[in-house]
Copies of this chain bind each other. A is one copy, B any other.
Amino acid sequence: MTVKKPRNEIKKLTERLREVTYLGTAIAVLQWDQEVTMPKKGADARAHTISLLAGLVHNKFLEIDHDGLLSGLKKKLDPSTRAKHGTGHSARKLSPAEATIVRETWRSFSRERKLPETFVKEMAELASKSQSVWAEAREENNFAKFAPYLERMVEKKREEAKLIGFEGSPYDALLDSYEPGMTASEVERIFTDLKAFLVPFLARIKKARQPQQMKSAQVPIEKQVGLSKKIATAMGYDFDAGRIDVSAHPFTTSFHPHDVRITTRYNPKNILESIFPTMHEGGHALYEQGLPHEHFGTPLADATSLGIHESQSRLWENMVGKSLPFWKHWYPKLQKEFPGVFTAPLAHFYASVNTVKPTLIRVEADEVTYNLHIIIRFELEKALLEGTIEVKDLPKLWSDRYKEYLGITPKSDKEGVLQDVHWSTGYIGYFPTYTLGNLYSAQFWNTAKREIPDLEKKIAKGDLQTLREWLRTQIHGHGKSYTAEELAQRITGEKLNPDHFSNYLKEKYEKIYK
């Protein structure tokens, strides 16, 4: 009998995974098209196509183990099995990279095989349709139109949690697919502490003297496009492997490290409303473009968690994009490019960019209030899933919670419960990763400042590439080699520590609000 060589088996597994991933990108292209370019009557046909493809990809993924290839490799991961069979030489130990491929593929595989094909197809079709209905309902400010779809979605997500299995809350089963290893109770613990810090901190800012602000940032849309591209290019975003388009909700999608697309939106009254989404999505895109393309299709070329993903977008949007050093370089450019618009001194501009003021719309929120928006969504979606509240009560609950945490009340569902796309597409359990990302971003930022000499001076000179390279080496290039927790430990020397974030806020906003 010939000795089985893991390297060949890994090669075989990689080829199978690559096929599944290439097919999966077809779905991603169809979804990108749906949000960016599809004419509205195309929605029904699109939902059918996506549903069919989702079923095919699901089956093709499960087929990777049709001959026990994956299960066999999985056994090599487990030290007790290896010892028991004493296969020593013939079962050569997997290299760390091979172990990552097997461990992480096994993780997704074990999850995926619990879902029947019909479930996967129904979910894909519901998500695609429900998103179109949500877009209309939001446009028409008509929650009743969306409610039946959301009800069906919540039901389906409960079913998903049951199929996957869970110990604590059904929420755990969903959260785990976005943030592997994280649990609802751990999120609750972190969020409780964060809320305890944020609410009084916000109250102090509200009472402080408001800094002087600039008046306007009005720039024609055509010219905003050019600036967005310049900043993205400076960040190191490769336009030969990506593009910027417009969508209602800015997002990033990746079909391959060589085709990573971002969207933003433009408000002719305020150029900043396109700059920050561009930097945010640009941060996501750098992660995706920085994944090692030679491992495409395997977990080595896949982001480790959505929390880590969001740490990249927030680091670029906030720690860089809303910092004084960044604008020391870019504000004079703005002034030169749009004469007569940016007449305020840099200090006023900087204060405007960092105004803290409770708002109704999450994506417009400042760094201080942002996480309160997330906490509200987490509390509500968890309760929805656990069945302690009902879809029909959402608008009122939403309103009450905003009053309580932020002191403001939406006048319509459009600026309330209908504002986010997530629930319509079945992204329940996704919101907490935004706040986790904020926490990680401050922690990584502190390490970056420590490790990169004169980082902020470099940024003030327009050099963003040094930071990009550091992030690529520390994070992007590793794919799923390390979990979020391991990555934090490796890079920063400690696990997720929310103090970095609260200290960052204190230091920054005490300067601005004195």
Contact = CB atoms under 8 A, between A and B. Distances in A.
A33 B29 contact: yes
A49 interface: yes
A238 interface: yes
Interface stretch (A36-44, A228-236, A322-330, A447-455): A36-44
A39 B296 contact: no
Q: Which of A53, A238, A240, A259 has the most CB of B within 10 A?
A: A259
Given A19-B52, A255-B45, A258-B45, A243 B39 contact: yes
A256 interface: yes
Given A29-B33, A243-B37, A255 B42 contact: yes
A239 B39 contact: yes
B52 A22 contact: yes
Interface in A127-174: none
A26 interface: yes
A20 to B, nearest CB: 9
A46 B42 CA distance: 23
A94 interface: no
B255 A23 contact: no
Contact of A256 (B30, B45, B258): B45
Nearest to A42: B259
Contact of A259 (B46, B256, B261): B46
Contacts of A296: 45
A39 B256 contact: no
A258 B56 contact: no
A25 to B, nearest CB: 5
A282 to B, nearest CB: 15
A242 interface: yes
A26 to B, nearest CB: 5
Nearest to A32: B33
A363 interface: no
Given A25-B45, A45-B296, A259 B38 contact: yes
Nearest to A238: B41
- In the assembly, how many copies of this chain are there? 2
Contacts of A48: 22
A286 to B, nearest CB: 15
A413 to B, nearest CB: 25
Interface string A97-138: 000000000000000000000000000000000000000000
A26 B50 CA distance: 8
A56 B57 CA distance: 11
B41 A240 contact: yes
A15 to B, nearest CB: 12
Nearest to A48: B22
A241 interface: yes
Contacts of A44: 258
Contact of A42 (B19, B40, B53, B258): B258
Contacts of A30: 26, 29
Contact of A39 (B22, B46, B242): B242
Given A38-B259, A39-B241, A240-B40, A45 B29 contact: no
A45 B22 contact: yes
B49 A23 contact: yes
A26 B25 contact: no
Contact of A53 (B23, B40, B238, B256): B23
Nearest to A242: B39
Contacts of A41: 238, 240-241, 258-259
A256 B261 CA distance: 25
Nearest to A18: B48
A367 to B, nearest CB: 32
Contacts of A29: 29-30, 33, 49
Contacts of A242: 39
A45 B25 CA distance: 9
A64 to B, nearest CB: 14
Nearest to A259: B42
Interface string A47-66: 01100110010000000000
Contact of A26 (B19, B53, B241, B256): B53
A261 B33 CA distance: 12
Given A23-B52, A45-B256, 11 more contacts: A23-B49, A25-B45, A26-B26, A26-B53, A29-B33, A29-B49, A37-B243, A39-B261, A42-B259, A44-B258, A45-B255
18 contacts: A19-B52, A22-B48, A25-B45, A26-B26, A26-B53, A29-B29, A29-B30, A29-B49, A39-B239, A39-B240, A39-B241, A39-B261, A41-B240, A41-B241, A44-B258, A45-B255, A45-B259, A46-B259
Q: What 6 A-B pairs come out closest when comparing CB atoms?
A: A42-B259, A45-B256, A41-B258, A41-B241, A22-B49, A22-B48
